[in-house]
Structure 1
Amino acid sequence: MDRTIKLKLEMPNEGKENLKQTVVLFNHVFNEVASYGFNNHTHSKVSIHHATYKDIRELHPELPSSLVQGARDVACEALKGVKLKRLPQSHLFSAIRYNKRVIRIVFEHGYATVASVNGRVKVCFTIPKYYEQYLGWEIRSSALNYDSRNDLFYLHVTLRAESPKPSGNTVLGIDRGIVNVAVCSNNVFFNDSGVKNTRAKYAYLRKEIQSKGTKSAKRLLKKISGRERRFVTDVNHHIAKEIVNMPFDVFALEDLTSIRVQKRRGKNFNRKLNNWSFYQLEQFIRYKAEALGK
């Protein structure tokens, strides 16, 4: 099983500037490689490597070769993901991938050395108490993310450990719905007036703000959508945790495939249906159950 932890990085201003330049150049190379693959209708890493690597190294010798290869791999995966139907593009400060050759993470001392366009940069971090349970796991990959609004860097580290062996065969059936987020076959319902009222509040605010149509209204709408998304995530986490801690070994969820394209029952119903992440709840139940050997 895999877990990803997020670490806030601290470094001198010189190191920060080096990493900014690295992020920008990595994404520039991504776009160059993606353009070649799209124009030549291929996402093969081998053919794209032979066609682009030498030229990119000559144009951008300051970017470490491993990062050039990383940008190529990410671009090929993006082309494959969209089935070459459109050109994937990275933004100026999109997150970049690091492999083990270009980053060294030392959890016990709270630092890492990261490759950049001007050599290695030493970054420091503080590990939150909750993440300490993962420190003995195997490091699989990492991604560097730059928050341009707050001028902060974050390192996302993916760790892996062997999943516990499943045991037992007692089954809990789970239905997901609109009035009740989850209904279990042991007659446990997950919903309360707080969730219902909060969902109604956000629906009302969206309606009022969208009617304005101004730039400030659009900014506020984006801010509110973030709050609502975090609210939904928090509720789904709590529900999933309570479900997997029930005395059952197997969790059977109803199949919701194509539920959003089935016959609708009016504007209000459609809004409520699209306003909750049922798939996210399923994913939370899946990984929390796996960690418990269920």
Structure 2
Amino acid sequence: MLRTITFKLRLTNQDREALSKTMRAYAEAFSISAKWGYDNQSWNRVDNHNATYKLTRQSIPDLPSSLVQGARDCACEALKAVKCETLPERKPLSAMRYNQRVITVNLIHGLASIASTNGRIKATFFVPSHYRDYLSWTIKSSTISYDRRNKTFYLHVSLEYNDPEKVANLEVLGIDRGIVNIAVCSDNTFYNSKQIKNRRARYAYLRKELQSKGTKSAKRKLKRMSGEERRFVTDVNHCISKQIVNSEYTVFALEDLSKIRVQKRRGKEFDRKLNNWSFYQLEQFLGYKAEALGKHVLLVDARYTSQKCSNCGHTYKGNREGSAFRCRKCGFELHADLNASRNIAQAGISCLSRLPSQPAKCDTIST
């Protein structure tokens, strides 16, 4: 299992300057490697290292060699992602990747020794009580990022632990995610409340009013409100995912919604509601919570799950009208989201034979 936990670093003003200088040097090293890779149409790390390492060390002598190599690796990954068709660019204060040779993290005492262009700097951070479970995990790598709005440095620590034993009994639960109902499960469980909808509507109204004013105080309020809304959404998704994974089911089937935001929709109001909730975050929370319990998550094809009858399998667009579902062939009636969740469960059952050790995407649905 892999997890990444984040800490806010406490630094002196001198150390903050050193870390900022290191970030700029790291971005410069990235640019040198990216430029060579783009000019030579190659993302091979060995070739890039042989061509750019000495030049980078001469241009940026204060940057530790391990960070030079880290910047090179990031540049090669970026080139590979775009297939060398465009030149990757990096902002001066972008995140830096550290390996264990250039950073020492002590999670027990909340201390970190970080390499920089000015030598090693010491930083402290607070370890919340709910992070104590990770003290026995193995640290694999670390990343340091900078929040320009809050002018704060953050330490992201990647940890590894042995995977728990996978459950042998496979019981599939289908989960339909939506706007009116955040999640509807095939066991007849609905996750929704007026409080959630009212709060989302209030945030939308306040955002519209403050944006129309455009004053400095209105912008400060928008900044605070964005953090409140983000924390609210995260908390709700945490609570829902925790209740689901702690159920008796061991396999959780979800629709693959990776392309939901590029489809044609029904107006600005619908688009606002669609983009106002983090479907992917709920999927992520379900994934890592299920993994910790030895359970599984499957992604199935989202096509026709709302149009197909979960009773007879007849698929027709007119079967669904709003939140009501009535099959035109067999007359079966059910709440539309519940019917969709049962179709998702059936699709998940059809994918059990190819269930891997990690969450997977299944491209077929049950007929």
Aligned to 1:10: 10
Distance 1:35 1:198, change over 3 A: farther
| Structure 1 residue identity aligned to 2:6 | K
Q: Between Structure 1 and Structure 2, how many residues are aligned?
A: 294
Partner of 1:204: 205
Higher relative contact order (CA 8 A, sep 6+): 1
TM-score, normalised on structure 1? 0.90
Alignment of 1:228-267 (within 5 A): 228-267=229-268
Structure 1 residue 238 displacement after superposition: 1.2
Deviation at 1:213, TM superposition (A): 6.2
- Over the matched positions of the two proteins, sequence identity in percent amounts to 60
- For the residue of structure 2 that corresponds to 1:97, the secondary structure is strand
Aligned AA for 1:266? G
Relative to structure 1, the CA distance from residue 48 to residue 197 in structure 2 (aligned partners, 3 Å threshold; closer, same or farther) is same
- So what's the TM-score if we normalise by structure 2? 0.73
Change (3 A) 1:154 1:85: same
2-structure distance, mates of 1:13, 1:208: 38
Distance in 1 (CA, whole Å) between partners of 2:211 and 2:82 is 31
Shift of 1:81: 2.3
Gaps of 5+ in 2: 296-367
Q: Give the match's secondary structure for 1:108.
A: coil
Q: CA shift at 1:63, angstroms?
A: 0.8
Equivalent-residue separation in structure 2 for 1:157 and 1:87 (angstroms): 29
Cα displacement (A) at 1:82 = 3.0
In structure 1, the partner of 2:33 is 33
CA RMSD across the alignment: 2.4
Task: State the shift of 1:270 in Å.
Answer: 2.6
Aligned partners of 2:29 and 2:271: how far apart in 1?
Answer: 42
Can you give the 5+ residue segments of structure 1 that lack an aligned partner in the other structure? none
Partner secondary structure for residue 108 of structure 2: helix
List per-residue Cα deviations over 1:192-244 (Å, max 9, x = no partner).
11110122122223433444567876665555444333322221111111111
Note the C-alpha offset of 1:289: 0.6
- Counterpart of 1:92 in 2: which secondary structure? coil
1:107: which partner in 2?
A: 107
Q: Give 1:55's aligned amino acid.
A: L
SS of residue matched to 2:4: strand
Shift of 1:131: 0.8
Deviation at 1:159, TM superposition (A): 0.4
- Which residues in structure 2 correspond to 1:37-52 (within 5 Å)? 37-52=37-52
Q: Aligned AA for 1:4?
A: T
CA distance in 2, matches of 1:267, 1:124: 46
The one-letter code sitting in structure 1 at the alignment partner of 2:50 is H
Letter matched to residue 249 of structure 1: T
